[in-house]
Structure 1
Amino acid sequence: MDDSSPEVTTALEAILMASRLCQKVREDLTEGASIQKSDRTPVTIADYGSQAIICKLLKDTFPNDLVVGEENSTELRKPDRSNLLAQVTRYVGDFYPSASSDEVCAWIDLSSHSVRNRFWTLDPIDGTKGFLRGDQYAIALALIENGVVQLGLMACPNLYVSKNQLDGKKGCIFLALRGRGTFQMDLEGKASQPLYVSKVAVPEKASFTESVEPDHADHITHLKLAQKLGITQPPLKMDSQAKYGIVARGEATLYLRVPSPSEPGYKEKIWDHAAGAIITEEAGGTVTDLDGKPLDFSCGIKLEKNRGILASNGILHGVVLKALEM
């Protein structure tokens, strides 16, 4: 597989389309644009629209491939959600003008929760709460073959282009191809440039990123670990897999995700890490669980054989793992 392969070109087209839909929905966001799923995670029109577009495009191009996606149309099909479904259909219609509500639901439901030797995994909006706040979110797509991520793409419409442009241009696409490196582009899929992790080799000079939501990880353990390592910079709190992106381009040295004390046995979903992990790895970094084991994407929709997440610039990975043991 190379950067001109059908997998890369199709995935990039899908991510770009979904990114435009999400930006449009965010501009138009009103109170009625979100509902509550049974797990109380906010779901937006953009979640459904993004998944519909990406699943349709992938299935049109690769009809034999499975897409393991986060959403399904169960909530949308309820009679009291007819207005919400109409809005999703309208936004998808900007890309597929003849799309009916039934077709949009069918496209959303092209995803499954079973895996094969080759499949795609999709988070149509990773960081839904960040999306609703106007902060960071990502559209994340990855191709997995025999349990190993081969291709990862991530659109981050609200992420600044570089740390030197905090008040400047926003919007990035990250693309990583196994053995070919990681690249950042603009939201039109242009201006490609290679990315590399930081060269920080002393823990005291390191920085780390973590989730915004305190129930997503053990922030107290993160803080204690940082103190043990001599890290003095405050954590960069960020929603979504965008955290992998800033490690990949050297703005953070570490991404920590120790399971929350409220759910110590929590197993991460594959769509929350597949794209981000290869983006960090192909930029020269290392991604493992908290025991130093590679992430195993062959166990279904969860990383059943892994505990937590540690992403780093590679240089400090062993030091951090050792500190975690103490």
Structure 2
Amino acid sequence: MSAPYAREQAIALSTVLKASLLAQKIQAELVGSGGVEKKDKSPVTVGDYTAQALVSALLAAHFPSDAIIGEEDSADLQRPEQATVKAQIVRLAGEAMREELPLADEERAWADVKRVERGDTEWMAAIDRGNSEGGAKGRHWALDPIDGTKGFLRGGQYAVCLGLIEDGEVVLGVMGCPNLPVDPKQPEGDKGALFVAVKGQGAFQRSFTSPTLTRITMNSLASLSAASFCESVEAGHSDHGTNARIAELLGITRDSVRMDSQAKYCSIARGDGDIYLRLPVSATYEEKVWDHSSGSLLVAEAGGIVSDMHGLPLDFSLGRTLKGNKGVIAAPREWHKQVIEAVAKAVGEEGK
């Protein structure tokens, strides 16, 4: 008998791989042009929309009853001044559909999708399938088509992130990191890594071109003083000053590793770093489910605990945001409690 969620895992790997290869192509072809701003003024690229359209199309073909909680919608693209951007999305989506994946089994997953001719209307509708409000019941795929847009634009780290939430619980997570080295010991070697975790089945990594999954685990630390932080590049995403105080309280002297996107989760899950801190810089900000679903499961399956800054489990049952939580802390299971205590002390000193 196949393992639970084996089919979902296979389809998720196939769609994240295609979206990751698309992102690589778009980064080479369009970075510096083709951007569009959303209402919140954060930068977003053609790649976000095109990747969401592709992922949505494949999920609809294989799991038509499942909902999608996607980051994007096509509202901005319907404006006349965005006609060029929309045309780029339709062209790139069509080209991606015609290109074959390196592995035959993953390519076969797209057979039914490729038989359907799609134009502007169909691709915009695919993007808008990501409009689910989520909730505590049913199956919802949480999608961040290109997480770490600023990293994408500066040539740094970014990730295609897809998680399956079933009755409010994350049961599957797949991430593609096009710029992350497959072997962290060879940072200038082959780049492009896929990460996958199924609840209760462990955490794994593979390259873009090989089906072989290799189990990954977090570092085993003799003491927290040997640990290193992994945190956001953008100070607007996490409080770097408080992070530094937490490191001091824990006796950590190693420099923090800063990178964009859920690639941070992937890095600590395989031992590139040890602790991920994302402390809120705004009292009203609510973390988005697509920013943490797949990464939090990966770390949990690799031997860590992911919670909010108060030690509470992340609650994915409340809609499109983690409105019941504040901040995100990921750490090795045996050291998580001490990290939470240091966070509380540091935040308390600042009167937050």
TM over 0.5: yes
Asked if 1:312 corresponds to 2:331, the answer is: yes
Opposite residue 75 of structure 1, the aligned amino acid is D
Opposite residue 235 of structure 2, the aligned amino acid is P
TM-score (norm 2): 0.89
Which residue does 2:96 correspond to in 1?
95
Opposite residue 28 of structure 1, the aligned amino acid is E
Change (3 A) 1:118 1:3: closer
The answer (yes or no) to whether the contact 1:152–1:279 under 8 Å persists in 2 is yes
Asked if 1:73 corresponds to 2:92, the answer is: no
TM-score (norm 1): 0.96
Asked if 1:257 corresponds to 2:258, the answer is: no
Report the CA distance between 1:162 and its aligned residue.
2.6
The answer (yes or no) to whether the contact 2:231–2:277 under 8 Å persists in 1 is yes
SS at match of 2:15: helix
Matches within 5 A, 1:1-326: 2=3, 5-96=6-97, 98-115=117-134, 116-188=137-209, 190-260=211-281, 263-326=282-345
The answer (yes or no) to whether the contact 2:31–2:153 under 8 Å persists in 1 is no
SS at match of 1:310: strand
Tell me how large the CA RMSD over aligned residues is: 1.3
Report the CA distance between 1:106 and its aligned residue.
0.8
String of CA shifts for 1:18-38, please: whole Å, max 9, x gaps: 111111101102432211111
Opposite residue 177 of structure 2, the aligned amino acid is C
Opposite residue 26 of structure 1, the aligned amino acid is Q
Report the CA distance between 1:199 and its aligned residue.
0.3
SS at match of 1:168: coil
What is the aligned residue count? 324
The answer (yes or no) to whether the contact 2:182–2:206 under 8 Å persists in 1 is no
Q: Percent identity over the alignment?
A: 43
**Unmatched 5+ residue regions in structure 1?**
none
Report the CA distance between 1:270 and its aligned residue.
0.4
The answer (yes or no) to whether the contact 2:163–2:173 under 8 Å persists in 1 is yes
Say which is worse superposed, 87-96 or 243-252, in terms of deviation: 87-96
Q: Quote the Cα distance in structure 2 between the aligned partners of 1:73 and 1:216.
A: 25
String of CA shifts for 1:12-61, please: whole Å, max 9, x gaps: 11111111111110110243221111111111111001000001110111
Report the CA distance between 1:72 and its aligned residue.
0.3
SS at match of 2:236: helix
Report the CA distance between 1:189 and its aligned residue.
5.1
The answer (yes or no) to whether the contact 1:154–1:174 under 8 Å persists in 2 is yes
The answer (yes or no) to whether the contact 1:66–1:120 under 8 Å persists in 2 is yes
Q: Quote the Cα distance in structure 2 between the aligned partners of 1:188 and 1:55.
A: 23
The answer (yes or no) to whether the contact 1:247–1:313 under 8 Å persists in 2 is no
